[in-house]
Amino acid sequence: MWNTYEACLVDKGVDIRQTGSVEGEIARTKRFAREFKECEIKLPEMVPEMDPKQNPKYDDDMREWVKCMNARGLKVKVVSDGWTYTGDSTLSFEQQRKVERDCKMEAFGGKR
């Protein structure tokens, strides 16, 4: 499902390797706001753990996700609606995506 969403963004001219992670990108940039809005219909629904309204530990999990990503070489911080980059990373795009996914699973992976 994420591939369909990402393909929509790429078709509209968004270079996701340049803009960083697709998740949370709407909050991180205004440059592609129109493109993200047009592809929103293809955005997969979030699992309950990733929904602040359904997960009472969402804020703690979000902080844990960011802590994990920083420990593994991404430079990120918590913002009001997720996280954002705070600097350049020495990791490749593929490595960044892997760290992001792995840390998300560790932080939100149903350890309750």
- The residues near 47 (Cβ < 8 Å, ≥ 6 apart) are 108
pLDDT mean values, one per 10 residues, the chain (112 residues): 85 72 54 85 84 90 95 90 83 90 88 50
pLDDT at 43: 83
Encoded tokens for 110 = 């149903």
pLDDT at 13: 86
Distance of CA 57 to the CA centre of its chain: 18
- The residues near 37 (Cβ < 8 Å, ≥ 6 apart) are none
pLDDT at 52: 86
Q: Give the DSSP per-residue string, 49-96.
A: GG-TTT-TTHHHHHHHHHHHHHHTT--EEEETTEEEE-S--SS-HHHH
Instruction: State whether residue 1 is helix, strand or coil.
Output: coil
